[in-house]
Amino acid sequence: MSSYEDYQDLMGTGHESREPVKPEDEFFHSVYISGKTRKNHINVEETAGKFQVRGVQYNLDSVNMIITHTKDILSRIVTVNQKDNVECFSFKPGAPPWYGTSRLSDNNPRPCPTTSAERAVNDYCNLCKAQILVAGIYCNPDGSPVLTDEKKPIFVFIRGKGMKYSGVSDYLGNMYKREFTPIFTPATEESTRFEKTVVNNKRVVTTITKGTAPSAYGDKDVFILTAGSELPTDAVMKILEVSKNTLEKFNDKFDWSIRTKTPDATGYGNTSPQTGAGQMTMETGTTVSESSQEVTKDESKQEEKPQQIFSFDNVNFD
């Protein structure tokens, strides 16, 4: 009698049905600027030009976060029947060469050009664009996390793509150049490079506000990132620990090459299972978590809080 194991080579060619994930149940919540005023699926009107924290809070003038992860990716997105299809994707693991999810042939992976100039002259890769993912802990201006009733932090992310790319990239580049007192001592060439690359952007509260940039189609909303309050060393070390412990969740959310559900190309989340090579749908609705302590259903602004000494003592990261 035959066994299913005789047909294991067919894994990856089938279809798996998945239940949609509610916005409030997502681990990473998308932060975006509404393009137009409209009501979402819980009948909350999202105002054009305002920040929305999907599944948490809406209609904000700014968002504060402590960065835990950043990642450069490459994505070839083609719009078909008003839906964005991710036809090729690279999570850019480590140093080049990188490879996309599409293949030249069955046994021949597609290598990724390493620069935008190289992509521009490649007939397939010229539609591929670079994006930057920035994820972190949703917080108040002083760095104190916005918590749920269970004293758990809320993780958020922005996607720097298109006209939003350069502002995010420039900010991270400037944070790399900043000189901080070393955390790891004695400082070596290797530890200094690690701190500049990995730690520097975690040493401050990052404030995200809205700006505009001109385009051939008129002014477009962009992210403006600025460095706010500097965090104490013990808080930075805690952020490093949290970043390490949530790396698997970050990769599961954003590395589309290993995921079986629909790629989130828009930054608005996804609700439908993968039915083809990276096929996806867009969802823009936001909701408010019923378990949120710092965010209530009828709030349209973050509560103004007095400045206080920063501490993670009451935060449950487990």
Q: Is 39 exposed, middle or buried (0-12, 13-18, 19+ CB in 10 A)?
A: exposed
Q: What pLDDT does 261 receive?
A: 42
Q: What pLDDT does 89 receive?
A: 94
Q: Where are the domains of the chain?
A: 19-254
User: Which residue has 């490459």 as its token pair?
Assistant: 74
Residue whose C-alpha is closest to residue 66's, from 143, 125, 152: 143
User: Which residue has 């349209």 as its token pair?
Assistant: 300
> Which two three-digit tokens encode residue 104?
């030249």
Q: Which residues pair with 160 in a beta bridge?
A: 132
CA distance 122 to 224: 32
CA distance 315 to 312: 5
Q: Which of 22-26, 141-145, 277-281 has the lowest mean pLDDT?
A: 277-281
153 cis-preceded (ω within 30 degrees of 0): no
What separation in angstroms does the CA of 150 have from each of 76, 131, 156, 314?
A: 40, 33, 17, 10
pLDDT digit string, tens, across residues 175-229: 999 999 999 999 999 999 999 999 999 999 999 999 999 999 899 999 999 999 9
> Which two three-digit tokens encode residue 9?
């080579």
Share of the chain above pLDDT 70, in %: 81
DSSP string, 87-138: EEEE---SSSP-EEEEEEETTEEEEPPSSHHHHHTSTTGGGEEEEEEEEEEE
Cβ–Cβ < 8 Å for 68, 202? yes
Q: What is the DSSP letter of 273?
A: B
CA distance 101 to 89: 5
Question: Which H helix or E strand runs over 197?
Answer: none
Cβ–Cβ < 8 Å for 31, 224? no
- Res. 314 pLDDT band, cuts 50 70 90: confident
Q: What pLDDT does 13 receive?
A: 72
CA distance 81 to 84: 8
Cβ–Cβ < 8 Å for 154, 162? no
CA distance 275 to 45: 31
Cβ–Cβ < 8 Å for 62, 30? no
Q: Which of 205-209, 278-282, 311-315 has the lowest mean pLDDT?
A: 278-282
pLDDT digit string, tens, across residues 103-143: 998 889 899 999 999 999 999 999 999 999 999 999 999 99
Q: Is the pLDDT of residue 98 over 50?
A: yes
Q: Is the pLDDT of residue 278 over 90?
A: no
128-139 and 108-111: which strand pairing? Answer: unpaired
